[in-house]
Amino acid sequence: MMVEFYRGVWVVAYRELLRLLQERSRMLSSLAFPLMFLAVFGAGFNRIVGPMAQNVDFIQFMYPGILSMTILMSSMFSGMSIVWDREFGFLKEIMVAPISRTGIVLGKAIGGSITAIVQGSILLILAPLVGISLTVLLVVKFLGIALLLALSLSGFGILVATRMRSQQGFQMVMQLLIFPLIFLSGVFFPVDNVSPWLQVIAKINPLTYGVDAVRQVFLNGNLAASSLTDLANSGIGVTVNGHRMGIVEDVLIILALGTVLLSSAVWSFSRQE
């Protein structure tokens, strides 16, 4: 029974991956947006903003956030396949297949997550250009965090998609959700150095902890101990009730969030279909 379940999950996920390979324009467009931000904001404001901390300039600060942003955008739009399948009648064929509703949602989420990780990993080639050295351990840590973050956000996208009946409506809602999540997650500024009311909003934003975890992985792996101390004192990071969040704590929040969002997506999909 479990073998059939996992096989069904893989079939759904594999179909999502095939769609990525067939729609190369989708991959190019999803990469163009973060590259534009990195070029315009990074190159444009690097001299104006100046160093964020010792041995950390604005581009190096922003680069991990751009990786997280790429994962966010690709993951949340993974729900588009549900809306597309519903509009063109393919979803009915999936529903009558010998696979549970949970398996369909997990397959969609896994396929969307792999797509997001592939797109985020492509941007790793830019790391040397912004002064960040890559190691095998750093890449492994990044991929682990990226997988958890992508699964969580794919669950969010699927949850929204279960309530949508048109691709246009889904895209409008995604745009309304994605931009606040991006700009209030610490991609472009340290969340601890803004107004108190803005800090509150940023710290209830789930993407904030994903950005913080990815940023710590990249910066901690490229800075000396003295620079790390200066980094902690500069306000770069996320502080909750006076405690500076570590990578493990950020990952636990992402894991809890992913569990809630995927469970909610399964429940909503079962109720709607």
State how far Cα 54 lies from the chain centre. Answer: 28
Long-range contacts of 23-29 (CB under 8 A, 24+ apart): 27/119
Q: How does residue 255 score in pLDDT terms, banded at 50, 70 and 90?
A: very high
* Average pLDDT of the segment spanning 256-273: 84
Structure tokens at 12: 């759904």
pLDDT, tens only, 147-162? 999 999 988 988 888 8
Total domains in the fold of the chain: 1
Which token pair is 236?
Answer: 């770069």
The share of the chain scoring above pLDDT 90, in percent, equals 9
Strand partners, 239: 244
pLDDT above 80: residue 203:
yes
Q: Is the pLDDT of residue 171 over 70?
A: yes
Dist CA 94 CA 178 (whole Å): 28
pLDDT at residue 53 is higher than 80: no
Measured CA distances, 131 to 48, 57, 117, 145 (Å): 18, 9, 22, 22
Strand partners, 244: 239
In the chain, the amino acid numbered 91 is L
185: confidence class by pLDDT, cuts 50, 70, 90: confident
Q: Which of 155, 163, 162 is nearest to 76 (CA)?
A: 155
74 vs 72: CA distance, rounded Å: 6
Residue pLDDT, tens place only, 218-237:
887 665 544 445 555 555 77
Q: What is the pLDDT at residue 226?
A: 43
Mean per-residue pLDDT, 130-134: 83
- Residues spanned by the domain of 234: 2-272
Q: What is the spatial distance between Cα 198 and Cα 210, in angstroms, rounded to a whole number?
A: 18
- The two tokens of residue 241 are 């009730």
61-88, pLDDT tens digit by residue?
888 888 988 888 888 877 777 787 777 6
Residues 88-104 have pLDDT tens digits of 666 666 666 667 778 88
**Contact by Cβ (8 Å): 158, 79:** yes
State the pairing for strand pair 239-240/243-244.
antiparallel
Phi-psi category of residue 207: left, alpha or beta, with phi > 0 → left and psi -120 to 50 → alpha:
alpha
164 — alpha (psi -120 to 50), left (phi > 0) or beta?
beta
Q: How far apart are CA 80 and CA 93, in angstroms?
A: 17
CA–CA distance, 6 with 192 (Å, rounded to integer)? 43
Q: Average pLDDT of 236-242?
A: 78
CA triple 147-194-41, angle to 5 deg: 60
